[in-house]
Structure 1
Amino acid sequence: MGEFLNANLEFPTVLFTFLLVLVIAYWLIVLLGSADTEALDGGAADGFGGFLGSVGLGGVPATVGLSVLVLVAWFVSLAGATVTEGALLRVAVLVVALVVAWLVTRVLVVPLRRLFPATSGDSRTAFVGRTCVIRTGTVTETFGQAEVTAADGSSAIVQVRQTGTDTFTAGSTAVIYEYDQHGEFFWIVPTPGQRELS
């Protein structure tokens, strides 16, 4: 047991040991229900999930791809460090561990993609064109929430904004006409019937 601990604290394995501890801690928190598997994704293509996608590891939550990457890199570096001596060979082990981890993770995420539906901006744009019900007392250029029902019947509370001087009150209806990916909110206008009432 002592040799195993020592091997985990030697270069390059120690780099991945630290990351593996963070990964294990994260998944324990997920099991306790205090976090979700999209925490690192940011819900946008330019977040960490976008980086993983750019290196061929996209299509699954970033936390899943990163967890597999760290686990494989840790295992390969541990195995390599136990059979090599010298700083130069240990650096080679680090490079090999990263390459093997990337290749294995890339192969594994292909079947995993089927288990995770798209949750990026594409799913949010599905709300564009749908009618929503205002849930706040007013909607301005900087504030507002509404409830919108998806095609599958599920409902969601979303952030909404308006550019005009239309009056929105709780319970009034509006039409979503655009999604602002940067601000993560929807632009709305009154429904024709609502506009006549106001």
Structure 2
Amino acid sequence: MPVTVAGSLLTAVAWFVSLAGSVLTTGPAARTAVLATALASAWAGTRAAPRPIARRLPRERAASRSDFVGRLCVVRTGRVGADFGQAEVTAQDGSSAVVQIRSLTEEPGLTVGRTALIFDYDPDAECYLVAAFDPGALGD
């Protein structure tokens, strides 16, 4: 919950409880108790308000490095080998990222501008494993 919303809710609940308490009570001791009750009620109400709403909202899944596995990428370096290579890949939400890629075999076709398929992620080397891919071959 944004701070401005929480502050507004806190103020509204405290105002309402103090208004109702001042109408129902008389005397300085009772009014002091109304003030304490208003502050406690506002705090409790503000803390409890987001819980029912949060249960109904979908939980966002944290992005992980394995999200790119199975996606196509465009090579951005002159070559891709077992020790070198970068590519640009587009995530499902439309954002793009430049990632480190490696090829298990020295494929001469993996040069700048070519399309590759990301088939695995190597957590030790922190890079994606790719293979050459021809998108035109799918239409045959």
Give the structure with the larger strand fraction.
Answer: 2
Structure number with the bigger relative contact order (C-alpha 8 A, sep ≥ 6) is 2
Give the greater-gyration-radius structure (CA): 2
Q: TM-score with structure 1 length normalisation? A: 0.38
Give the structure with the larger helix fraction.
Answer: 1
